[in-house]
Amino acid sequence: MNNNQTFPYRYVRPEVLPLLSSGEVFTRADKAPTRASFAEAVIDIGGRNPKVVVLDADVSKSIGTNKFAAEYPDRAFNFGIAEQNMFAAAAGMATTGLIPFACTYAVFASMRALDMVRNAIHYPGLNVKIAASHSGITPGPDGVTHQGQEDLSIMRSIANSTVIAPADPDTTTLAIHAAAAYQGPVYLSFTRDPVPKIFTADYPFEIGKAVTVREGRDVTIIAMRDLTAHALVAAERLAAKKIDARVIDCPTLKPLDTESILAAARETGAVVTAENNVIFGGLGSAVAELLVENEPMPMQRIGVQDTFAESGPYLDLLDKYGLSAPHIAAAAESVVKRK
């Protein structure tokens, strides 16, 4: 890093930088689950807009939306363990001009209630915000039934969808505000497990925009949600091997920032994608589709392979299922060799 002519990082907290090369960012940096940022942001937004309502399905204590319910009891609706009813009711509320945030775990939002999410929310384009915690294999100890490893792929396939998966607690807050201001359905993906606070307050969050958070010339690593921090660690490992990796945080899976991604790919000539989501139909697929139709080049996808995970500590799971920094770095080395 010191050999670079210019300081490569953008919007990365200064106190995090020394923790990247050692990987200590995951143990020593300030951490919080992004679901907690959502729970706080929705109180803030609800305080300023009386049309904001929060719908829960018996996991408000887990997501933290019970705090909204305590603050605004008349605008909080707990549907019990009945996600199908909750999402269709959210659609009904939205037809009257309310702005419902319907909250549950990613597996239930994207699968249990998918028919409602597709037909009652996205087909009519109703202004429902789907707040999905436990996305990816982030609820480590809970095991497979609660690990939403397909939600981003499923939601991306639905017409009119906007799919957002912010990387850290503070950019999650920015994303919630942007989603609330946006007219139409938005799927918001959060982590159950704590992730490091990596970005500064001036991070330019905008729906549909990817943000370059590390400049680099040899390879572009495009990462989302909790794997962006791992991509930054991977970039440090690569720097030690004289590979200069660009890192793009891509909080909006859909609409994909095709312009920025294509430009970065052309400038670096090789691409790695990193997502805590199945490799089918998510970020890797989206970028591969973009590149193969515009600028085919060496590319590798980091993501959950054709398998279910298991119970275990979050970071150990990322290692075991091939998602953590060493895997990202190895993939980058491999694509650079193929250039």
Contact 91, 128 (CB under 8 A): yes
Q: Measured from the CB atom, is 94 or 264 closer to another protein?
A: 94
Is residue 80 at the binding interface for another protein, with CB under 8 A as the rule?
A: yes
Is residue 100 at the binding interface for another protein, with CB under 8 A as the rule?
A: yes
| DSSP per position, 61-117 | HHHTTHHHHHH-GGGEEE--S-HHHHHHHHHHHHHTT-EEEEEEEHHIIIIITHHHI
Non-local (6+) Cβ contacts of 165 within 8 A are 135, 152, 188, 189, 224, 225, 251, 253
Q: Which of 15, 24, 71, 83 is catalytic?
A: 83
Q: Measured from the CB atom, is 91 or 248 closer to another protein?
A: 91
| DSSP per position, 165-184 | --SSHHHHHHHHHHHHHSSS
Is residue 99 at the binding interface for another protein, with CB under 8 A as the rule?
A: no
Instruction: For the segment 44-73, give every residue that binds another protein (CB under 8 A).
Output: 53
Q: Measured from the CB atom, is 160 or 334 closer to another protein?
A: 160
Closest listed residue to residue 174, CA positions, set 122, 209, 139, 136: 209
- Segment lying near another protein (by CB under 8 A), choices 85-93, 271-279, 297-305, 322-330: 85-93
Task: Give residue 293's region: left, alpha or beta (phi > 0; psi -120 to 50).
Answer: alpha
Choosing from 1, 21, 40, 119, the residue that interacts with another protein (CB under 8 A) is 119
- CA 188 to CA 135: how far, in whole Å? 9
Quick count: other Cβ atoms within 10 Å of Cβ 27? 11
Q: Measured from the CB atom, is 34 or 104 closer to another protein?
A: 104
Is residue 79 at the binding interface for another protein, with CB under 8 A as the rule?
A: yes
Instruction: For the segment 122-141, give every residue that binds another protein (CB under 8 A).
Output: 123-125
Is residue 89 at the binding interface for another protein, with CB under 8 A as the rule?
A: yes
Is residue 116 at the binding interface for another protein, with CB under 8 A as the rule?
A: yes
CA 319 distance to own-chain centroid: 18
**At its nearest, how many Å lie between another protein and the CB of residue 177?**
23
Number of residues in contact with another protein under rule CB under 8 A: 30
Catalytic residue check, 259: no
Question: Residues with catalytic annotation?
Answer: 83
Q: Which residues bind another protein (CB under 8 A)?
A: 53, 74-75, 77, 79-80, 82, 84-98, 100, 115-116, 119-120, 123-125
